Structure formats: C-alpha cells, structure tokens
Amino acid sequence: MNTPKGLFITFEGGDGCGKTTQLNLVEKYLSEKGQNIIKTREPGSIGLGQKLREVLLHYDGDVASTAEAFLFLADRAQHIEKLVLPAIAEGKIVLCDRHTDSTIAYQGYGRGENIEQIKMLNNLATQGLKPDLTLIFDVSEEIAQTRVGAEKDRMESAGNEFHKRVRNGYLEIAKQEPSRVKVIDANLSIEEVFQQVKKYIDEII
C-alpha cells in the first residue's frame, strides 16, 4: 500500500484579511470529511518559534529590517524541520496560517528588502518545500482596518503606506505563480468567502 501523500496549504494576506477564520472553517470542513489535519502558523507555532514570535510582534525597541527578516526566517526553519516536514511525511494535511509569501510581501515589498534574496533565504529555511496551494485573502484597506481592531501589534502598527505595499506585493506574487497561488476576494461575507475557498480545496483534495 502506498503511504498517503501529505499536503501543504498556506493562508496568506494582509492584517485584518480574515484568513484565520477561513483556515478554521477549512479545518472543520476537512475534519468532517475524515481527513487528518494539522493546523499551524508562522511565526510561533511551537517551542523556539513561540519565543521568536514574542520578539517579532511585541519587542518595542528599534529593529533593523534585515534582522526582522532573519527572525521570521529562523522561525520558519524551525517550524518546517520540526513540525511541517514530519507531518507531511505522515500523510497529514498541513494548514498553515502565513508562510514564505508573508516574508516576500512584508519584508520584501513592505520593508524594501531584496526580493530575490528573500526568495533564496526562504528556500533555505524551507529545505525547498513549496506549498501545494496558497490562498491569498485580498481585502480593501477600509475593511482591513475595521477587522484589525484598536490594539495593534508591532507589524500592524507599521502604517498605511506599508500595508498598501504589502497588499500589492501579494497580488504581484499571485501574478507570478498562478498555478500555486489563488486570490480570494475577502471583502465579502464569511460564507461567501468560504465558497470561493472550498472550490480550491475541493480541487486539491
């Protein structure tokens, strides 16, 4: 008997795009179908990652943008080796809240780090693993702001221009890799957004 092949599905988008709600709906949908699911996130899934998350989102001193990029990448390297690769090898479906495209969109397009270099470093951190499917939740600035709420973490406080660049960065990534990356119109109701998501999930499962 062949071992079932695991799947790696990533959920991406700007702050306040609603991707975490959709990830939870996908988890429920697939679990009800009897699939073996692992839900995880970057930064900060387990162990060392949780320490890095604390620094990345709540350290209030000055952070060099290259250092920020390396901290997200360090979290990713740990997460991939200790959690994602073993789960995929066991045939599980890994649903991951943010991954490599966040670093391209936020540190690359947002902060202005060199995008080709970020891609190379992503490749190092992931040991070459690529998501089977990436959903980008695209939402207008106005709706994103209402969803983020008043208490903002370090990244959410980076300003409107920064978040505009992040959004455009995501759309650029989708243009460059249309077979892996699908853009979801996340301005709609939770149910309407989920209908779009379900179509892509059904195609890949």
Question: Residue 122 in contact with residue 73, Cβ under 8 Å?
Answer: yes
Minimum distance, C-beta of residue 4 to ligand TYD, in the bound complex (Å): 28
From 42, 78, 121, 193, residue interacting with ligand TYD (rule: CB under 6 A): 42
Minimum distance, C-beta of residue 82 to ligand TYD, in the bound complex (Å): 16
**Does 155 contact ligand TYD by CB under 6 A?**
yes
From 79, 92, 98, 167, residue interacting with ligand TYD (rule: CB under 6 A): 98
The whole-angstrom separation of Cα 89 and Cα 3 is 9
**Does 18 contact ligand TYD by CB under 6 A?**
no
Q: Of 203, 146, 141, 196, whose CA–CA distance to 168 is shortest?
A: 141
Q: Which two tokens stand for residue 95?
A: 């649903």
The whole-angstrom separation of Cα 70 and Cα 76 is 10
Is the CB of 124 or the CB of 205 nearer to ligand TYD? 124
Minimum distance, C-beta of residue 87 to ligand TYD, in the bound complex (Å): 18
**Does 52 contact ligand TYD by CB under 6 A?**
no
**Does 138 contact ligand TYD by CB under 6 A?**
no
DSSP state string for 139-170: --HHHHHHHH-SS--TTGGG-HHHHHHHHHHH
- To the nearest 10°, report the CA torsion of 12, 133, 104, 144: -20
Residues that bind ligand TYD (CB under 6 A): 15, 20, 41-43, 57, 72, 97-98, 102-103, 106-107, 155-156
